[in-house]
């Protein structure tokens, strides 16, 4: 295997909690050196999210893994100079503060470009740098509601509901890492500084292909339909005889024919188009539900897969960690943690590549673990200067 594709790329992560830190973590998994800027006293708020193990957040162990931790109090008058000197030594800066906050800290794109004229900056914020809402605060749940995802989630008779994970943070973190690659490529082509302005809500809005198009065509907004896909039937979660839940979507004509055959339900074959199946949805969903309810999960999975029908269980964390396929691919791994002396169980980088390996790069760092070496090696500060900054609470 060759070096990872981002080997030699250096990232300054001036962000907190999830979307920005996730973007920088993904870049790190593929070779980038990631330097994480944190508050000298509290660190990233994600360090304190429960559940805690040995005083450290399980979430932080994922978000911070493989990074180097540098402490800088961004509220301090001298912080902007330090961040600028670090920006001069990196390729990409990732932030997720409000635009007004970056201006107040004097670490906005125009500020940092003065230190590195060809800087790449990925700025994640709730609503973006432009528009009337640019300086509104917001988190993932606000973005999910604003983008319409929450409107679509839940049962028709109930209120809107959030997913069990802050989807906007996850999707935007991945999109921000993608944007960093686009901006870096453009910088390499033109030699010019690049700014990627990524609001939390826009990647979600982009992801829901049918949402606005459907409204534009009909003038109507489709209401919540629970677990059912409004465009596909059968497509639901069905409960097995032993109490497990099964995802069973028949999204194509071929899959529908296979499902009808394995159900021994030839009379349903007359519904030979998605339009016809949606017209007879209640009957079809009831028949599929009854078929699933007559079987235990594992024998049913074997029956369906032998027939070429796509289906999968609703897995808990325990199910995931015990699954033979996940174990065979190494989708969940143990990461050594030298500070606690015990390995941590966590997700591996996603995907497998023929020419390189993605790696985790070690456990999450202690707060400020790398402050002195980074300020010395990247910002060019001498030890007495670093000691003075520490004494005055700047780092």
Respond yes or no: is residue 110 known to be catalytic: no
pLDDT tens readout for residues 228-284:
888 888 999 999 999 999 999 998 999 999 999 999 999 999 998 999 999 999 999
pLDDT tens readout for residues 327-378:
999 999 998 877 777 788 999 999 999 999 999 988 899 999 999 999 999 9
My answer on whether omega of the bond before 51 falls inside 30° of 0, hence cis, is yes
Q: Which of 392, 365, 391, 385 is nearest to 70 (CA)?
A: 365
Catalytically annotated residue among 13, 91, 108, 169: 169
E strand residue ranges, 117-170? 120-125
Token duo for residue 90: 């990196």
CA distances from 118 to 106, 129, 183, 185 (A): 18, 20, 11, 12
Return the ∠ at Cα 370 (arms to 369 and 375), rounded to 5°.
140
CA distances from 143 to 104, 136, 164, 171 (A): 24, 11, 15, 11
CA 21/CA 95 separation, integer angstroms: 8
CA 124/CA 96 separation, integer angstroms: 4
Which residues have CB under 8 Å from 131's CB, separation 6+? none
CA 389/CA 248 separation, integer angstroms: 59
pLDDT of residue 1: 42
**pLDDT per residue as tens, the chain (395 positions):** 458 999 999 999 999 999 999 999 999 999 999 999 999 999 999 999 998 887 888 889 999 999 999 999 999 999 999 999 999 999 999 999 999 999 999 999 999 999 999 999 999 999 999 999 999 999 999 999 999 999 999 998 999 999 999 999 999 999 999 999 999 999 999 999 999 999 999 999 999 988 898 889 888 888 888 888 888 889 999 999 999 999 999 989 999 999 999 999 999 999 989 999 999 999 999 999 999 999 999 999 999 999 999 999 999 999 999 999 999 999 999 988 777 777 889 999 999 999 999 999 888 999 999 999 999 999 999 999 999 999 999 99
Q: Which 8-state DSSP code applies to residue 50? A: S
- Angle subtended by helix axes 167-190 and 19-29, to nearest 10: 60
CA distances from 382 to 88, 332, 375 (A): 17, 42, 8
Which residues have CB under 8 Å from 69's CB, separation 6+? 36, 38, 43, 365, 366, 367, 368, 369, 370, 371
Structural contact between residues 239 and 293, judged by C-beta atoms closer than 8 angstroms? yes
pLDDT of residue 186: 98
């Amino acid at each position: 295997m060759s070096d990872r594709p981002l080997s030699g790329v250096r990232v300054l992560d001036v962000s907190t909690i999830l979307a920005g830190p996730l973007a920088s973590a993904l870049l790190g998994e593929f070779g980038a050196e990631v330097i994480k800027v944190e508050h000298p006293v509290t660190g990233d708020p994600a360090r304190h999210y429960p559940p805690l193990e040995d005083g450290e957040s399980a979430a932080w162990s994922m978000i911070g893994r493989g990074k180097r931790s540098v402490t800088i109090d961004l509220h301090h008058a001298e912080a902007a100079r330090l961040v600028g000197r670090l920006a001069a030594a990196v390729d990409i800066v990732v932030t997720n503060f409000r635009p007004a906050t970056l201006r107040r800290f004097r670490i906005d794109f125009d500020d940092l470009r003065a230190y590195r004229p060809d800087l790449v900056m990925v700025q994640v914020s709730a609503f973006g740098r432009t528009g009337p809402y640019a300086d509104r605060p917001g988190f993932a749940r606000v973005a999910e509601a604003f983008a319409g995802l929450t409107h679509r989630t839940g049962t028709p008779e109930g209120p809107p509901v959030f997913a069990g994970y802050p989807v906007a943070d996850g999707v935007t973190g991945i999109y921000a890492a993608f944007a960093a690659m686009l901006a870096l490529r453009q910088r390499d082509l033109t030699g010019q500084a690049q700014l990627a302005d990524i609001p939390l809500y826009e990647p979600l809005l982009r992801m829901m292909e049918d949402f606005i198009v459907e409204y534009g065509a009909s003038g109507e907004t489709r209401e919540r339909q629970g677990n059912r896909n409004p465009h596909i039937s059968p497509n639901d979660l069905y409960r097995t005889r032993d109490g497990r839940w099964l995802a069973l979507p028949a999204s194509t004509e071929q899959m529908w024919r296979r499902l009808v055959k394995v159900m021994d339900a030839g009379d349903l074959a007359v519904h030979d188009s998605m339009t016809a199946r949606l017209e007879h949805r209640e009957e079809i969903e009831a028949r599929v539900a009854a078929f699933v309810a007559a079987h235990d999960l594992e024998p049913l999975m074997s029956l369906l897969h032998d027939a070429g029908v796509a289906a999968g269980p609703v897995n808990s964390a325990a199910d995931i960690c015990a699954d033979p396929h996940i174990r065979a691919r190494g989708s969940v791994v143990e990461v050594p943690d030298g500070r606690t002396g015990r390995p941590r169980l966590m997700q591996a980088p996603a995907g497998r590549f023929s020419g390189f390996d993605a790696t985790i790069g070690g456990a999450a760092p202690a707060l400020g673990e790398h402050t002195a070496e980074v300020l010395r090696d990247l910002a060019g500060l001498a030890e007495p200067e670093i000691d003075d900054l520490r004494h005055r609470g700047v780092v």
